Amino acid sequence: MNAEHRWLEAYPELGSGPISTEPYISPEWYEKEKEKIFSKVWLCVGRANELPRPGDYKVKRIEAANTSVIVMRGKDGQIRAFHNMCAHRGNTVVTESGQETYGRNRAGVITCRFHGWVYAADGALRSVPSQERFYSCFDKGENGLAPIHLDTWEGFLFINVAEKPEHSLAEFLGDYAEHFRGFPFEELDFGFTYRTELECNWKVAHDAFAEAYHVDTIHAGSFPNVFSSGLQNVKLMGPHRTCAVCLTLDAKPTPVAGIANRIAGASLVSQRGESMLPPTINPDHRPDFAFELSVLFPNTLLHVSEGIWFTHQFWPLAHNRTLWEGRYYVKAPTSNAGRWAIEHAMTLQRNAWLEDTATMEDTQRAMQSRAKMHQHLQDDEILIRHATVVVDRYVNA
């Protein structure tokens, strides 16, 4: 095997030629992605433990699917999803305060502020003020909230806004679900969330996080000489993909980072155990394994390691604007020293994410100049190449 071209040899069907920049800058292409991808596939919109009590709800605006989604736990304990649109005059039932809005109604209902129509957590229209003034064609039983398909996997909530999804969530996830089965996401629930809007295409944001080739340059300040650049154990699973990112074993952390790592182990910049890992992750038990980097199509990156998991999500707002959300989870600290060590690790990670996002808007502006119409990928940018092939297949299906 040619070590420099090992992933091409493993997946020759992806090709090796240059990649067009047109899908990153074309408004027309973006409209096709909205229609063929975001309005048809399963999208991860959160976790069930965000809604622990009956009556808890969140609203998530999804511009790429042209909707706002209410996700609510009913008195029966079941979580359901609905379009955030009143059946009366089309107003949003829950007033949004941003891309994500949280709330609770102990009665398990939500009320449209426009005219006071009340909906139950199962979507049924519960109350209509002055109902007697409506005409005989109005049937309260037929005017509940419009439902959205919702399903769960490992505590993650997925929706599909298609009238009839082409696949069940289990079918959509396929081997990806089995790859991560058993990882204790629920035990690691002490989290940090960052979000910002970036003036770039959602795929530009995805690509910046989906390779390790940039680590020695972009992360020279936050992670100097820490990660080896090559990917290991690359697996392509339908539209999804995963790989291992590995440490440089002889790299020395700063004195402060070394102390924090010994206390909490909340940083990726340390040798990891593998007691939490499913057998499919780091199957050859590499001592330099740092974390699993995976892409859950279309817009979620899920990373797992011993005692840590985190996600990046890239929500398209336009062909050249993206909402980036980063979430990082560890075990809750049990001491002040543990809290300090976790905060140190998260600050280091936040700085690395700032370094990553700092390239994205420059990339978009340069691509839009059309000075170069193709990009050339090397072998370890296999996840990006796979992503372009998958997006193209969906758009041109």
Task: Write down the pLDDT at residue 247.
Answer: 79
Task: Write down the pLDDT at residue 225.
Answer: 65
Q: Which fold has domain 3-21+176-395?
A: Naphthalene 1,2-dioxygenase Alpha Subunit; Chain A, domain 1 (3.90.380)
Whether residue 269 is predicted with pLDDT greater than 80 in this model: the reply is: no
282/86 Cα distance (integer angstroms) = 49
| Higher local confidence (pLDDT), 26 or 254 | 26
Chain-wide mean pLDDT for the chain?
93
Q: Quick check: helix, strand or coil at residue 197?
A: strand
Handedness of CA 27, 395, 154, 309 (dihedral sign): negative
How crowded is residue 104: how many other Cβ atoms within 10 Å of its Cβ?
Answer: 16
Task: Write down the pLDDT at residue 229.
Answer: 61
Whether residue 1 is predicted with pLDDT greater than 70 in this model: the reply is: no
Q: What whole-number percentage of the chain has pLDDT above 70?
A: 96
- The first and second tokens of residue 73, run together, are 């736990």
Whether residue 233 is predicted with pLDDT greater than 90 in this model: the reply is: yes
Task: Write down the pLDDT at residue 99.
Answer: 87
> Residue 219 — very low, low, confident or very high, per pLDDT cuts 50/70/90?
low
Domain 3-21+176-395 and domain 43-173 have a common topology: no
Task: Write down the pLDDT at residue 34.
Answer: 98
Name the strand (E) or helix (H) holding 180: helix 175-180
Q: What whole-number percentage of the chain has pLDDT above 90?
A: 79
Span 18-43, average pLDDT: 98
Handedness of CA 24, 37, 57, 155 (dihedral sign): negative
Closest residue by Cα to residue 387 from 6, 63, 33: 33
Beta bridge pairs of residue 79: 73
How crowded is residue 53: how many other Cβ atoms within 10 Å of its Cβ?
Answer: 11
Task: Write down the pLDDT at residue 259.
Answer: 87
Q: Which CATH architecture has domain 43-173?
A: 3-layer Sandwich (2.102)
Tens digits of residue pLDDT in 274-298: 899 999 999 999 988 989 999 999 9
Task: Write down the pLDDT at residue 283.
Answer: 94
Task: Write down the pLDDT at residue 31.
Answer: 98
> Residue 223 — very low, low, confident or very high, per pLDDT cuts 50/70/90?
low
Length of the chain: 397
Tens digits of residue pLDDT in 317-353: 999 999 999 999 999 999 999 999 999 888 888 888 8
Whether residue 63 is predicted with pLDDT greater than 90 in this model: the reply is: yes
Tens digits of residue pLDDT in 156-213: 999 999 999 999 999 999 999 999 999 999 999 998 999 999 999 999 999 999 987 7
How crowded is residue 36: how many other Cβ atoms within 10 Å of its Cβ?
Answer: 16
pTM of structure: 0.94
Task: Write down the pLDDT at residue 224.
Answer: 66
Domain definitions of the chain by residue range: 3-21+176-395, 43-173
Tens digits of residue pLDDT in 68-120: 999 999 999 999 999 999 999 999 999 998 889 999 999 999 999 999 999 99
Span 264-283, average pLDDT: 85
